[in-house]
């Protein structure tokens, strides 16, 4: 090999890596689509060498940007950036009442409404590139239950399902909010923003405070849900797509017996249940982040 070839090649690879990292670290593209007459915000981070696409569905309290695209100088915390580095174009939806998606006229969100909105976003993604494989659907916490409802009803819209932080046993929720005369619109708090980080050393104090700031900026008012009895439609036996179930070992909201029943009931022979060592409810931005991403990479890019 010519003596100048290797240094030039290494320089080229370094420059390419820097370019990819810079693209991933940039603010995501903001799309506004309409589902059943309501404007929905969808965030995108494209992948230069796209191998797949994935749509992220956030949890109960916070929207896409704080949950999945937290940027802290000197730390890699953004799940969207991590997915882009794997070659997965990354999209995140703000459900009604979250982030940059306004509430609808009712002021409430329901499981069925959330699932229909996510399905609408998946239809939009299918239309962007009709020849491409369908996106994967990633649901976290409450979003995991929303994602499950989606694939039970519209399996044609996805290549596979990734569930993380699955929070409750299907069917235990009822309708505590249905008697309320109006949505309470409670103010979100810094204490609530810190509540998902309980394992010492899993994430830096600086990152926690950055999350608190981003969360309160994106979601100053708590979204309101009702008709929670609609969660009773969750049925693992109705999930027939490839499924990756991720559980963080220290996650207080994700219980072993819940995951055991869910995993056993999935009606697919293409499924995996992986426990993330050292992880808490937000493991994808904590110390086990690299391990977390490797499991997703292995599932989506086999």
Domains and their CATH numbers in the chain: 28-300 (3.40.50.1820)
Classify residue 11 by burial, with Cβ atoms within 10 Å: 0-12, 13-18, 19+: exposed
> What secondary structure letter does DSSP report for 286?
S
Residue for token pair 């506004």: 32
pLDDT band at 26 (very low <50, low <70, confident <90, very high): confident
What confidence score (pLDDT) does residue 175 get? 66
Average pLDDT estimate for 152-173: 89
Is the pLDDT at 158 greater than 80? The verdict is yes
- HEC letters along 157-221: HCCEEEEECCCCCCCCCCCCCCCCCCCCCCECCHHHHHCCCCCCCCCCHHHHHHHHHHHHHHCCE
At 180, is the pLDDT very low, low, confident or very high (cuts 50, 70, 90)?
Answer: confident
Q: How far is CA 252 from the centre of its chain?
A: 18
**Residue 177: pLDDT over 90:** no
Output b/e per residue, 206-215; b: 16+ Cβ within 10 A.
ebbebbbebb
What percentage of the chain has pLDDT greater than the value 70?
89
As a whole number of angstroms, the distance between CA 100 and CA 91 comes to: 14
Q: What is the mean pLDDT of residues 136-164?
A: 98
Backbone φ, ψ for residue 92 (5° rounding): -135, 140
Tell me the whole-structure pTM to 2 decimals: 0.91
User: What is the average pLDDT score of the chain?
Assistant: 91
Interacting residues of 94 by C-beta distance below 8 A, sequence separation 6+: 40, 41, 42, 43, 58, 63, 64, 100, 101
Three-class secondary structure of residue 132 per DSSP: coil
What pLDDT score does 19 carry? 42
Residue labelled with tokens 């693992």: 236
Per-state percent for the chain, helix, strand, coil, to nearest 5: 40, 20, 40
The one-character DSSP state at 302 is -
For tokens 């949890």, what's the residue? Answer: 59
Q: What is the model's pLDDT at position 198?
A: 87
With cut-offs at 50, 70 and 90, classify the pLDDT of residue 6: very low
Quote the pLDDT of residue 173: 65
């Amino acid at each position: 090999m010519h003596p100048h070839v290797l240094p030039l090649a290494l320089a080229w690879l370094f420059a390419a890596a820097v370019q990819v990292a810079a693209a991933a670290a940039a603010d995501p593209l903001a799309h506004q689509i309409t589902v059943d007459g309501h404007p929905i915000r969808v965030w995108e981070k494209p992948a230069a060498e796209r191998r797949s696409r994935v749509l992220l569905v956030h949890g109960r309290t916070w929207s896409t940007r704080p949950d999945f695209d937290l940027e802290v100088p000197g730390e890699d915390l953004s799940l969207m950036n991590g997915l882009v580095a794997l070659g997965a174009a990354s999209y995140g939806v703000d459900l009604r009442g979250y982030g940059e998606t306004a509430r609808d006229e009712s002021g409430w969100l329901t499981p069925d409404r959330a699932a229909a909105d996510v399905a609408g976003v998946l239809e939009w993604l299918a239309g962007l590139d009709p020849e491409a494989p369908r996106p994967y659907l990633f649901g976290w916490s409450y979003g995991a239950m929303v994602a499950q409802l989606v694939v039970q009803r519209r399996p044609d819209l996805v290549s596979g399902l990734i569930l993380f932080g699955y929070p409750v046993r299907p069917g235990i929720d009822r309708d505590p909010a249905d008697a309320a005369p109006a949505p309470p619109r409670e103010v979100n708090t810094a204490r609530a923003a810190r509540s998902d980080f309980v394992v010492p050393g899993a994430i830096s104090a600086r990152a926690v405070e950055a999350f608190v700031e981003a969360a309160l900026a994106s979601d100053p008012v708590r979204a309101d849900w009702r008709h929670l009895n609609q969660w009773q439609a969750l049925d693992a036996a109705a999930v027939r797509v490839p499924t990756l179930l991720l559980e963080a070992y220290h996650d207080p909201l994700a219980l072993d017996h819940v995951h055991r029943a869910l995993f056993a009931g999935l009606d697919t022979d293409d499924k995996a249940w992986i426990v993330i060592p050292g992880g808490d409810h937000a493991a994808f931005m904590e110390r086990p982040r690299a391990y977390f991403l490797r499991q997703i990479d292995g599932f989506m890019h086999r």
